[in-house]
């Protein structure tokens, strides 16, 4: 029987086990309760003496006592046998002593040995006034009670206690873990605990290798649950369905997706050169933007088309499946031809605010893109060279002045996602400004133009690893680059 304070209880230690035995995590603790025969008196007591009752997260301070925990003499009173007998769990500093265990069974009027050492005089008098009866109750903490981290901490070896792997990325019903090599021998056990402790999760996978394919996918191993990779994820008031094993998706980027979308102007034309299944373009379409979406991955393109249809943005979002650089080069001409062919589209506007009414809106098709997104942080920066001569190559029969005189002429804002990795042995560690300068140098090389550093806007998206920050670099495409020969 544990004598540990309830505040510091932990599950029994089961070191070295690679199979999960849920029965091994049961812990029992004897505590003092006060039984008030009239349930109305519970509220009266707590109104004045709540601090004298148990106050520990996840542990209720009111318990229903089993009939065997109640003196038979009390059960013989009229109406008591069929009544639900609720007791208040008292402060766990009021410990159950050996004397208490022996003597409390003999008398209905027994008082805990340490009663006056823990409870205030006024509290004891209140209990007496309300006819309270002190009873020992056994709390049972089983597998369901413990958190995932507590379970794993009791199982994993001593040398793996430093960084318990309980964090994961959730996409639909699927939990994606990134287990370090030393935890992989315990992957099935870790996966099962994650599965058990998260009711909305039915599949748990671990990444087998790093993202190295041109489609940004990775090999994964199902370590618990059903091998079902078809997920549905809600984000930015849109619903995305896709095969998680065949396309790139990172739920941790939802805030970044929303940030960029928030900057798109309603009625503008936006272009995503590495669109995936549509986390930028589909919400942009719902916002009232004209969006062109491209991805080279046939699977991503397949689900992109399905998600466009599912979210009813087919009139404003157009999918393509081309190499990213080739798509960027073709995009001005593609949009110009589209605008001349369609002029405008009529769409059902999505309700805003408290209004549920939907109205028909006419969106005029712009002739030039205002924004380009390039969310392929491992290599997107190498595609920046595709913007050299973007407008002069798209309209070779027109002069610079003629292009600038076309309707809606504007120079686009380019949003490039990029990992700026550095060596962990660098001493001193590069500052954020130094990393920005390194990125600036790479963009100059790609554009073949000395764009001033001040014209680049840097946003730190996240740190994928201590030496691998992810940035979004935004800048207006320089006229000298757009019209380069």
The string of DSSP codes covering 317-385 is EEEE-S-HHHHHHHHHHHHHHHHHHHSEEEEEPPP-TT-----EEEEEPPSS-SEEEE--TTTGGGGGG
Is 295 annotated to bind ligand? yes
SS3 202: coil
Is 311 a member of any domain?
yes
Is 238 a member of any domain?
no
270 and 372 part of one domain: yes
Is 342 a member of any domain?
yes
Q: Following CA atoms 51, 53, 57, 61 in sequence, which dihedral angle do they give, to the nearest 10 degrees?
A: -140
Is 273 a member of any domain?
yes
CA distance 291 to 304: 12
pLDDT at 159: 84
Torsion angles phi and psi, residue 259, rounded to 5? -60, -45
pTM, to two decimals: 0.85
Query: Cβ distance 315 to 336 under 8 Å?
Result: no
Among 339, 292, 300, which residue's Cα sits nearest to residue 320? Answer: 292
pLDDT at 442: 98
Along the 485 residues of the chain, how does pLDDT read in single tens digits?
445 567 778 898 888 777 889 999 999 999 999 988 888 899 999 999 999 999 888 889 998 877 666 666 666 666 565 666 788 999 988 989 999 988 887 777 889 989 999 999 999 999 999 989 898 888 899 999 999 999 999 999 988 888 889 899 999 999 999 999 999 999 999 999 999 999 999 999 999 876 556 777 788 999 999 999 999 999 999 999 999 999 999 999 999 999 999 999 999 999 999 999 999 999 999 999 999 999 999 999 999 999 999 999 999 999 999 999 999 999 999 999 999 999 888 887 766 666 666 778 899 999 999 999 999 999 999 999 999 999 999 999 999 999 999 999 999 999 999 999 999 999 999 999 999 999 999 999 999 999 999 999 999 999 999 999 999 999 999 999 999 98
pLDDT at 2: 44
Specify the residue for token string 């999918």. 319
CA distance 134 to 129: 13
pLDDT at 454: 98
Is 226 annotated to bind ligand? no
215 and 312 part of one domain: no
82 and 220 part of one domain: no
Query: Cβ distance 20 to 192 under 8 Å?
Result: yes
pLDDT at 40: 87
Is 198 a member of any domain?
yes
End-of-domain residue from the set 201, 232, 263? 232
CA distance 449 to 237: 40
Is 434 a member of any domain?
yes
Largest CA distance in the chain: 105
If you ran DSSP here, which 8-state letter would residue 264 be given?
Answer: S
How many domains is the chain partitioned into structurally? 3
Cβ neighbours, 10 Å, residue 108: 14
218 and 256 part of one domain: no
End-of-domain residue from the set 110, 141, 172? 141
pLDDT at 355: 63
Is 195 annotated to bind ligand? no
pLDDT at 1: 40
199 and 347 part of one domain: no
Give me the CATH number covering residue 298: 3.40.50.150
Among 198, 150, 193, which residue's Cα sits nearest to residue 174? Answer: 198
pLDDT at 81: 59
End-of-domain residue from the set 124, 141, 158? 141
pLDDT at 78: 63
Give me the CATH number covering residue 161: 3.30.300.110
127 and 265 part of one domain: no
Residue 14: is the preceding peptide bond cis (ω within 30°)? no
394 and 271 part of one domain: yes
Is 171 a member of any domain?
yes
Is 5 a member of any domain?
no
Is 371 annotated to bind ligand? no
Torsion angles phi and psi, residue 201, rounded to 5? -95, 130
Is 288 annotated to bind ligand? no
291 and 421 part of one domain: yes
398 and 353 part of one domain: yes
355 and 477 part of one domain: yes
46 and 123 part of one domain: yes
Query: Cβ distance 302 to 309 under 8 Å?
Result: no
pLDDT at 176: 96
Is 174 annotated to bind ligand? no
177 and 309 part of one domain: no
pLDDT at 17: 77
Instruction: Domain of residue 435: give its range.
Output: 250-482
Query: Cβ distance 87 to 65 under 8 Å?
Result: yes
């Amino acid at each position: 029987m544990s004598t540990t304070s309830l505040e510091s209880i932990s599950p029994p230690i089961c070191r070295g086990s690679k199979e999960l035995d849920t029965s091994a995590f049961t812990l029992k603790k004897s505590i003092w309760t006060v039984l008030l025969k009239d349930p109305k008196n519970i509220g009266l007591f707590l109104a004045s003496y709540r601090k004298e009752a148990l106050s520990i997260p996840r542990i209720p301070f009111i318990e229903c006592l089993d009939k065997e925990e109640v003196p038979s003499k009390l059960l013989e009173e009229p109406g008591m046998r069929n009544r639900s007998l609720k007791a208040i769990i008292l402060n766990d500093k009021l410990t159950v002593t050996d004397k208490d265990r022996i003597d409390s069974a003999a008398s209905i009027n027994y008082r805990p040995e340490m009663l006056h050492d823990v409870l205030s005089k006024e509290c004891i008098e209140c209990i007496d006034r309300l006819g309270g009866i002190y009873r020992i109750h056994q709390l049972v903490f089983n597998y369901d009670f413990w958190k995932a981290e507590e379970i794993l901490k009791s199982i994993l070896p001593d040398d793996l206690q430093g960084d318990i792997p309980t964090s994961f990325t959730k996409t639909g019903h699927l939990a994606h873990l990134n287990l370090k090599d030393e935890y992989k021998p315990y992957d099935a056990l870790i996966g099962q605990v994650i599965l058990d402790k998260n009711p909305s999760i039915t599949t748990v996978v671990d990444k087998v290798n790093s993202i190295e394919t041109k489609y940004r996918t990775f090999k994964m191993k199902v370590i618990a649950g059903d091998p079902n990779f078809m997920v549905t994820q809600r984000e930015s008031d849109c619903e995305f369905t896709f095969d998680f094993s065949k396309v790139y998706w990172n739920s941790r980027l939802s805030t970044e997706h929303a940030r960029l979308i928030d900057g798109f102007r309603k009625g503008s034309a936006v272009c995503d050169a590495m669109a995936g299944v549509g986390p930028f373009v589909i919400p942009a379409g719902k916002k009232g933007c004209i969006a062109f979406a491209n991805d080279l991955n046939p699977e991503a393109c397949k689900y992109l088309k399905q998600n466009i249809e599912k979210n009813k943005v087919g009139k404003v979002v157009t999918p393509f499946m081309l190499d990213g650089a080739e798509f960027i080069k073709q995009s001005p001409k593609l949009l110009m031809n589209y605008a001349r062919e369609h002029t405008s589209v009529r769409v059902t506007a999505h309700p805003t605010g408290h209004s549920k009414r939907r109205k028909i809106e006419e969106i005029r098709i712009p002739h030039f893109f205002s924004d380009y997104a390039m969310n392929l942080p491992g290599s997107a920066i190498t595609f920046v060279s595709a913007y050299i001569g973007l407008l002069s190559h798209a309209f070779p029969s027109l002069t610079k002045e003629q292009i600038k005189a076309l309707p809606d002429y504007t120079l686009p804002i380019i949003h490039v996602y990029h990992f700026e990795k550095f060596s962990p042995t660098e001493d001193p560690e590069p500052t954020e400004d130094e990393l920005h300068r390194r990125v600036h140098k790479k963009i100059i090389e790609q554009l073949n133009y000395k764009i001033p550093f001040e014209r680049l806007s840097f946003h730190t998206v996240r740190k994928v690893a201590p030496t691998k920050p992810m940035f979004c670099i935004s800048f207006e495409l320089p006229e000298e680059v757009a019209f380069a020969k």
